[in-house]
């Protein structure tokens, strides 16, 4: 039987399963498992469900090898598991199958390049953040005017909702700040 697996990383509307699902159907997958989880996460419940269904002679199809994992070690461990089960892995983007020596070799190279790409991206982000800090840029979310919020709260003239609307913070943020500062209303 031919199974398909698709994964996206975030809950953002910009990432959808449509493209992967269409490609997996076009490749002839009879059952398709889709999940929303980071590639670096070791916990992929839908992938585990799929693996428990696979048997000798089955084929697992993915759109791209990076859908299975982000580290070479993670991908190769999965491929070894599939090989032990007698399952063929097919990657549509990279155009290979693991039932040939060339396919297994190519998989190792592709997985290594995927991991390198992730590490290079992380490195660029770190370098950019450090450069911004050196130039005096403040990073992270802008700090809310919590001094004003605390003064409003202490005055007892405003509700928590009104205070939060005025300074643009969540109620929990205000409560956390009150607790952090140790202020009380008499």
Task: List residues with catalytic annotation.
Answer: 9
- Helices 171-181, 146-155: axis angle to 10 degrees equals 80
How is residue 2 written in tokens? 């031919």
User: Which residue do the tokens 């428990």 mark?
Assistant: 52
In the sheet that 59-62 helps form, which strands lie side by side, from edge to edge? 31-36, 2-8, 59-62, 88-91, 96-97
Per-residue burial over 65-103, b = 16 or more CB atoms within 10 Å of its CB, e = otherwise: bbbbbbbbebbbebbeebeeeebbbbbbebebbbeeeeb
How is residue 116 written in tokens? 């390198």
Q: Which residues contact 113 (CB under 8 A, 6 or more apart)?
A: none
């Amino acid at each position: 039987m031919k199974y398909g697996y698709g994964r996206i990383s975030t809950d953002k509307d910009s990432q959808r399963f449509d493209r992967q699902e269409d490609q997996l159907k076009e490749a002839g997958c009879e059952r398709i498992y889709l999940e929303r989880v980071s590639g670096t996460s070791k916990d992929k419940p839908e992938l585990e469900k799929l693996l428990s269904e696979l048997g000798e002679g089955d084929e697992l199809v993915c759109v791209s090898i990076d859908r299975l994992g982000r580290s070479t070690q993670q991908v190769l461990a999965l491929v070894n598991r599939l090989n032990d089960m007698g399952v063929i892995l097919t990657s549509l983007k990279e155009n290979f199958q693991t039932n040939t020596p060339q396919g297994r070799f190519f998989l190792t190279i592709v997985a290594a390049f995927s991991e390198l790409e992730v590490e290079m991206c992380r490195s660029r982000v770190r370098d950019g953040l450090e450069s911004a800090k050196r130039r005096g840029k403040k990073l992270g979310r802008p700090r809310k005017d919590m001094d004003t919020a605390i003064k409003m709260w202490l005055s007892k003239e405003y509700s928590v909702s009104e205070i939060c609307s005025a300074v643009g913070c969540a109620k929990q943020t205000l409560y956390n700040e009150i607790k952090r500062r140790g202020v009380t209303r008499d």
